[in-house]
Amino acid sequence: MNVLDVLEERGYLKQMSHPDEIRELLGKEKITFYIGFDPTADSLHVGHFIALMVMAHMQRAGHRPIILLGGGTGMVGDPSGKNEMRKMLTPEFINHNIECFKKQIGRFIDLSEGKAIVANNADWLLKLNYVDMLRSVGVHFSVNRMLAADCYKTRLASDNGLTFFEMNYMIMQAYDFYTLHKNYNCVMELGGDDQWSNMIAGVELIRRKDRQPAYCMTNTLLTNSQGQKMGKTVGGAVWLDPEKFSPYDFYQYWRNIDDADVEKCLALLTFLPMEEVRRLGALQGAEINEAKKVLAYEVTKIVHGEAEAEKAKNATEALFGSGSNLDNVPTITVRKDEWGCRLLDLLAENKVIATKSEGRRLMQQNGLSIDDAKVTDVDTLVDDALFADKESLMLRKGKKKYYRLVRG
């Protein structure tokens, strides 16, 4: 089966540079393709998830992925979707993030010898001679066409405008594709649909400069049924790093998505057969909760491993089902030196709340409770009166997030 049929059936594909040629190519050859990841943080997030899944499907079909880490492009920053210039990152920060990305990507992609390539565009971009770059690459770019691209047009119309510094990003990304084509016979770039203009630039550079075929495909972005980007919570992004977003919270995020988004997420974010995806997506009423359980488990298993998925599932069943084992519920142990502190401070220190302001709002809006009793006093202390001779308390944040407070 042509992998393009798999990607289309599951809803990944958005745009293709040469649809007929791409279908023929993927049907008869095993190609080398790439997806780039700029290391702007020390963890990948849910926004990267679809691109990683596309890469995994391509690899399973026998095609070889190149994971391109943006040690060079990260020094400039992609202006796409930004209202102002990105903060300049230090080389040390970028290199640290790259090492974090490598560990996470290994959960999705087989990085063993011959199965994939991990490259860093700092290896060629940081060595470029500026005048040579202008002469060999710059002559192939029309400024008029660049300014018409969505990634630049939006910024040009904003109050902040567009710096010459950022305008170079498209050329750098195009040069990445050109270099990977020369070094590894890479013939296709994949990525999110917000990267279309940058990706087309690489295709055209190869076709103009080397007169060789090159292609690109974009995947749909992860949005809900209202067209809004998924992967955000009150506390920030849904990170793939368990230290930044726990497996339990990750499981709960997918367990609590809107009913209308379940089938789409099952298709995009799991490897379940489409027959099963359609069966689960067709469930109605209370039965859709069974589909959400499957989604949460499968996605957590892919990102964090089967053991963590089991823990999250068991913890959820202990709270909402007939189970009685609470060992897997996130636990906060109150140390002796913390006894008598404010509950607000304890929750902020343990990242239950992103900020104390968020905690105050939760309390004021009846969004925080302990053993089913609302906590509305922002000066509530963690002391004997709160525990009332109990060894542990069950704290609920919002409707679905639970934590245990345990005497240290």
Round to whole Å and give the CA distance between 17 and 204. 10
Catalytic annotation on 284?
A: no
Tokens of 266: 């099952």
User: Looking at residue 259, what is its pLDDT?
Assistant: 92
**pLDDT given for residue 235 in this prediction:** 60
Active site residue 316: no
Tell me whether residue 34 is annotated as binding.
yes
173 is in an annotated binding site: yes
The pLDDT confidence band at residue 337, using thresholds 50, 70 and 90, is: confident
Q: Give the pLDDT score at 236.
A: 73
Interval 58-92: pLDDT, tens = 999 999 999 999 999 999 888 776 666 778 889 99
Choosing from 14, 45, 57, 356, which is the catalytic residue? Answer: 45
Out of 154, 220, 233, 376, the active site residue is 233
Q: Output the average pLDDT for the chain.
A: 89
pLDDT digits (tens, 9 = 90+) for 313-324: 988 887 765 444
Annotated catalytic residue, options 48, 264, 396, 401: 48
Measured distance CA(352)–CA(360) in Å, rounded: 13
Predicted confidence (pLDDT) per residue in 274-311, tens digit:
999 999 999 998 899 899 999 999 999 999 999 999 99
Smallest CA-to-CA distance from 396 within 352, 355, 357 is with: 352
**Looking at 18, 23, 32, 40, which residue is catalytic?**
40
Residue 407 falls in the annotated catalytic set:
no
- Residue 325 pLDDT grade (very low, low, confident, very high; cuts 50, 70, 90): low
Q: Is 229 a catalytic residue?
A: yes
Check the annotation: does 232 bind a ligand. Answer: yes
Closest CA to 56 of 127, 48, 83: 48
95-109, 214-228, 360-374: which has the minimum mean pLDDT? 360-374
Of the residues 82, 153, 361, 400, which is catalytic? Answer: 82
Residue-wise pLDDT for 150-159, tens only, equals: 778 777 777 7
What is the mean pLDDT of the segment spanning 113-120? 95
pLDDT in tens, 234-280: 567 899 999 898 898 899 899 988 999 999 999 999 999 999 999 99
What 143-151 contacts at long range (C-beta under 8 Å, 24+ apart), as own/partner pairs, is 146/170, 146/201, 149/197, 149/198, 150/80, 150/196, 150/197, 151/78, 151/79, 151/80, 151/81, 151/194, 151/197, 151/198
Residue 233: per-residue pLDDT? 66
Confidence of residue 225 (pLDDT cuts 50, 70, 90): confident
Ligand-binding annotation for 184, yes or no, is no
Q: Is 82 a catalytic residue?
A: yes
What residue ranges define each of the domains in the chain, with the CATH number in brackets?
A: 1-217 (3.40.50.620), 230-318 (1.10.240.10), 329-405 (3.10.290.10)
Give the pLDDT of residue 234: 55
* Structure confidence at residue 327 (pLDDT): 63
pTM for the model: 0.80
Phi/psi region, residue 265 (left: phi>0; alpha: psi -120 to 50; beta: rest), is: alpha
Of the ranges 217-231, 298-312, 366-380, the best mean pLDDT one? 298-312
3 neighbors 26 (Cβ within 8 angstroms): yes
What's the rounded Cα separation, in Å, for the pair 288 and 256?
11
In sequence order, which ranges of 333-404 are alpha helices (DSSP H)? 343-349, 356-364, 384-387
Long-range contacts, 133-136 (Cβ 8 Å, 24+): 133/171, 133/175, 136/209
Residue 323 has a pLDDT of 46
